[in-house]
Structure 1
């Protein structure tokens, strides 16, 4: 099959939980790029928090970050597309979320901004809390509002499924917002026209690459729009059941490097 661009989620697709990307996967991506195929990370992370084994691949030029809110051209060292939540709207959402006893943070200009105090339940879900100690603010909504900081994404860590469902009910139909998730214990807010699928389509139009020549790989809800957009789609065995229903093929789990096996067999013919 003729594939000119591979758009790939990171966590759970290339990067296993608590580990690093298997060497075989990295070598396969490098071989694809040597053959002229663009490899585009499409992640919920900020640009600056992409794992070094991925960001260190010299052939990667374009990166979709914060669930599609930003697209960066690394060669030109500039953001070529962005879709942001206006500062007043982001601040209001953070204030409304505070009554639920959850933890929220904001992704702004490739940087994570947090509250200065962390709830104890975070350690139940995240082994490394370094991410949540960056740029702590006593009053995060006021900081965003007073400085006019438009937001790429609001990330919410939720301690129990009932609270998660209540937040979905309250915010799911809020005008101007897109609510998604990348795990069973988080929620993620973007502007309504910012998701991985829209970002991928924008980039492919920019590069004049038809969608039937795009392979997309993902494992969870925030990948669904991308998997519904690309011509060929795969998900690892560890993906959510809903995600598996959307793809052309389910491959071996992330930790086993199933994405590499698929690319080598069907794209690189090796």
Structure 2
């Protein structure tokens, strides 16, 4: 497929509604958008396994997917890794020690080439029971000694907690790791940690070069802090109306919310040239 224009969408609270679904109506509307050389993909903090169902639903299989907060770019058709950035052992173990020491109940998931490692700190309940797969809950254990943690190939760390604790958790992690890591609030109850320099925006720059595109022909659509680095990369930056205030202020355009098919509106307007491209 010849690609001339690229639309990149965050997943949670952008493509997905507040029930974590893409309705049949929204999916049909997204699939119906057509323009010469236009392609679409997803940029998410999730791993490919948890992105793939939506890629298949939308039939967006022609362009690599940005996963794990930009730590990896993957071909959605065969799972082949095109680009990846691992977390240094220093940042990984520093994150683990922070989780072990704080008195806020959290779960921690280490993502990489092997199976995820799922931990909780002392006194924390399971925050992964409601995830689509029971695998996470069944593998949840208390944070072990550093020597028992597999550090090779880990690309991203997710910390999940109660929504009212997310900002405090992010602050404590940033305070602990400093400039060694990129720490972002990825959702109401998620903080993601990558090595410094790893972000959705950096991965999007790599993907633009890989596809031979111009930044002026790229649209990024998102809702939160984790998406702002894409806004600095794509010339067309779009926030859904449910985005936080700072993310909306950084976007060139705002469309209806994730519950009002805002992603479909953005794609239709982009394809029609209404965003100036």
TM-score (norm 1): 0.85
Aligned to 1:220: 224
Q: Cα deviation per residue 1:183-240 (whole Å; 9 max; x = unaligned)?
A: 2433110011210000001010011101100010000000010012101111111111
Query: Within the alignment, does 1:44 sit opposite 2:45 as a pair?
Result: yes
Query: Within the alignment, does 1:173 sit opposite 2:178 as a pair?
Result: yes
Q: Which moved more, 1:215-224 or 1:68-77?
A: 68-77
Report 1:126-165 matches (<5 A). 127-128=130-131, 130=134, 132-133=136-137, 135-138=139-142, 139=144, 141-144=146-149, 147-159=150-162, 160=165, 163-164=168-169
Supply the distance in 2 between the matched residues of 1:215 and 1:4 (Cα, whole angstroms).
8
Supply the distance in 1 between the matched residues of 2:12 and 2:170 (Cα, whole angstroms).
23
Question: The residue matched to 1:50 in structure 2 has which SS?
Answer: helix
Q: Which moved more, 1:74-83 or 1:9-18?
A: 74-83
Question: The residue matched to 2:26 in structure 1 has which SS?
Answer: helix
Supply the distance in 2 between the matched residues of 1:91 and 1:269 (Cα, whole angstroms).
47
Q: How far off its partner does 1:66 sit?
A: 0.5
Task: Evaluate the alpha carbon distance shift between residue 258 and residue 190 of structure 1 in structure 2; reply closer, same or farther with a 3 A threshold.
Answer: same
Query: Within the alignment, does 1:198 sit opposite 2:233 as a pair?
Result: no
Unaligned runs of 5+ in 1: none
The one of 225, 236, 239 equivalent to 2:240 is: 236
Aligned residues: 264
Supply the distance in 2 between the matched residues of 1:70 and 1:111 (Cα, whole angstroms).
15
Supply the distance in 1 between the matched residues of 2:179 and 2:7 (Cα, whole angstroms).
32
Aligned to 2:113: 109
Report 1:53-64 matches (<5 A). 53-60=54-61, 61-64=63-66
Q: How far off its partner does 1:111 sit?
A: 4.4
Supply the distance in 2 between the matched residues of 1:193 and 1:73 (Cα, whole angstroms).
22
TM-score (norm 2): 0.83
CA RMSD in angstroms, aligned pairs only: 2.9
Question: The residue matched to 2:59 in structure 1 has which SS?
Answer: coil
Q: Which moved more, 1:126-135 or 1:55-64?
A: 126-135
Task: Evaluate the alpha carbon distance shift between residue 106 and residue 33 of structure 1 in structure 2; reply closer, same or farther with a 3 A threshold.
Answer: farther
Supply the distance in 2 between the matched residues of 1:110 and 1:232 (Cα, whole angstroms).
36
